[in-house]
Structure 1
Amino acid sequence: MTRHFLIAWHFLTAVPLTRRHYAPAPHELAASMGWYPMVGLILGGLIAVTDLLMDRLFTPEVANLLLLLALVSVTRGLHQDGLADTLDGLAGGQTPAERLAIMRDGRIGAIGATGLFFALALRYAGLLALPSQVRFPVLLCMPAFGRWAMVVAAWAVPYARAEGGLAAPFLDHLAPRHVVAASLVIGALLSTLFGLGGAVTGLVGGVVLARACTALCRRCLGGVTGDTLGATNEVVETSFLLAGPALLGLR
């Protein structure tokens, strides 16, 4: 495993792979984004295998709820927190500065809580409605697709806060080669499991959706933050879950 992969893994998950403490330089944080889809693929494998096991033990309703809980737990709710904070900020402020101040507040507001509830409910409904014959490829690819979208959303966009923040080094040093590396991984994965038609459609749709999230954040916040990238992951990942069966039909 490379250092950049380990940095990506430890940033995106709550599962330690080594006891070694990493203090990555800014350019290493950016380079780690090229590994985001690979981290997502491993998470997808864990979720897909867990789904097969739980299907033998529980009713579909319970199994899907536990599957959702497992995905949130292994990522320590990082992206759900970003979604709630982003919704609170976009809905609660009148200026970019006010919205960013609301997003920095650790408390969750009514809009953020409501949005998070409906996002999780929609994901649960999508899991429940997912046909058994397409569950494995969709679950395997879903986390990788969402994390690739974060890389796409972060490309060539400023950090929203002038004073900097956690995501600033990622954005400042993200290079085309990192975006290409992430895109090659997800492109190869989708082509293998969804066929060329499904892969092209999925990639185009993912780029459009991710960059639409970026455009909204630039308009309302002046740029993106770690929270908005997490929100982008949630939006794109859920969209992939809902559209996955249709993409498989394009093989």
Structure 2
Amino acid sequence: MRTQIELLFIALGFFTRLPIPGWVAFSPDKLGQAARFLPLVGWIIGLIGATVYWLAVQVLPVDLALVLSMAATIRATGAFHEDGWADTCDGLGGGWTKAQVLAIMKDSRIGSYGAIGLVLVLLAKYLALANLAAGDDYPVIAALLVAHSLSRLAAVSLMAVLDYARADDSAKSASVARRPTSAELGLATLAGILPLLLLNPREALTALVLTAIVIVWAIRTFARRLGGYTGDCLGATQQVAELAIYFGILAAWSST
């Protein structure tokens, strides 16, 4: 049990900016095993976003409460996944060969594709949540809790299928690049789908189907362009899946 708790804290320390106990010892092997807890980290990030939204909406307009909620989740993760999305947009948009794409994605500077992609994905998430907030706070809170966990399961799914594209990379993202075992993937899947119980069956099914579509799209795209995935690809997958889940919940919610 202590080992599992330590792995959870390692995942929390790697994928977020949240403080963890000092006794937790990082190692490449442990970091690779900790990926199983990425959806569970999503629970915590979703809970932060939902809590900030609920508190803010008591005294502020919905629009401002949503902005504060999004800012809180970005601050909690250090824009880890948003950065991956921006780098992936730059790489896939500006590179033609695998080497070019990987070189662009490794550049810390953000280009036009990344800037535009980042603005659009944040705007789309805000608008989706704003429409869910019409008349009731519960749909937003449920959507945040579901999307942050299920979208991180999408990222773990890539790790289970694809190889790491930077075989000679010594960056910290390479440390987590190992295929999860069946047990680890099962644990991640359970943590990723359990929050779907917060939704009605139509919303849950729509969110699940759109997440599967994003996973298939990401696997095909990264396999074709890179022959595998990078840490940035995982972040991009999480961002697209999170947005797709909001869209799916909104579409199902609006049709009831």
- TM-score normalised by length of structure 2: 0.89
Deviation, structure 1 residue 29:
2.2
| 1:20-41 residue CA offsets vs partner (Å, 9 max, x unmatched) | 3522232x22321221111111
Partner residue of 2:189 out of 170, 183, 186: 183
Q: Find the counterpart in structure 1 of residue 168 from structure 2.
A: 163
User: Residue 129 of structure 1 aligns to a residue in which SS?
Assistant: helix
Q: Find the counterpart in structure 1 of residue 6 from structure 2.
A: 3
- Consecutive unaligned residues in structure 2, runs of 5 or more: none
Q: Find the counterpart in structure 2 of residue 25 from structure 1.
A: 28
Give the letter aligned to residue 230 of structure 1. G
User: Residue 32 of structure 2 aligns to a residue in which SS?
Assistant: helix
Give the letter aligned to residue 71 of structure 1. T
Change (3 A) 1:249 1:179: farther
Partner residue of 2:94 out of 69, 92, 95: 92
Q: Find the counterpart in structure 2 of residue 74 from structure 1.
A: 76
* Aligned residues: CA RMSD: 2.1
Deviation, structure 1 residue 73:
0.7
1:152-231 alignment runs, 5 A limit = 152-164=157-169, 165-190=171-196, 192-196=197-201, 198-231=203-236
User: Residue 167 of structure 1 aligns to a residue in which SS?
Assistant: helix
| 1:103-138 residue CA offsets vs partner (Å, 9 max, x unmatched) | 111111111111111111111111211132412211
1:40 aligns with 2:46: no
Give the letter aligned to residue 149 of structure 1. A
Aligned equivalents of 1:227 and 1:76: distance in 2? 14
1:136 aligns with 2:138: no
1:145 aligns with 2:150: yes
Aligned equivalents of 2:205 and 2:184: distance in 1? 20
| 1:180-229 residue CA offsets vs partner (Å, 9 max, x unmatched) | 11111222321x21245544443343123123112101111121000010
Q: Find the counterpart in structure 2 of residue 125 from structure 1.
A: 127
Change (3 A) 1:61 1:197: closer
Aligned equivalents of 2:32 and 2:26: distance in 1? 13
Give the letter aligned to residue 241 of structure 2. V
User: Residue 27 of structure 2 aligns to a residue in which SS?
Assistant: coil
Contact 2:10/2:24 (<8 A) preserved: no
Contact 2:210/2:245 (<8 A) preserved: no
Contact 1:141/1:189 (<8 A) preserved: yes
User: Residue 171 of structure 1 aligns to a residue in which SS?
Assistant: coil
- TM-score normalised by length of structure 1: 0.91
Q: Find the counterpart in structure 1 of residue 17 from structure 2.
A: 14
Change (3 A) 1:22 1:52: same
Change (3 A) 1:123 1:201: closer
Give the letter aligned to residue 191 of structure 2. V
- Consecutive unaligned residues in structure 1, runs of 5 or more: none
| 1:49-104 residue CA offsets vs partner (Å, 9 max, x unmatched) | 21111001212222211111111111001111101111101011110001100111
Aligned equivalents of 1:65 and 1:124: distance in 2? 7
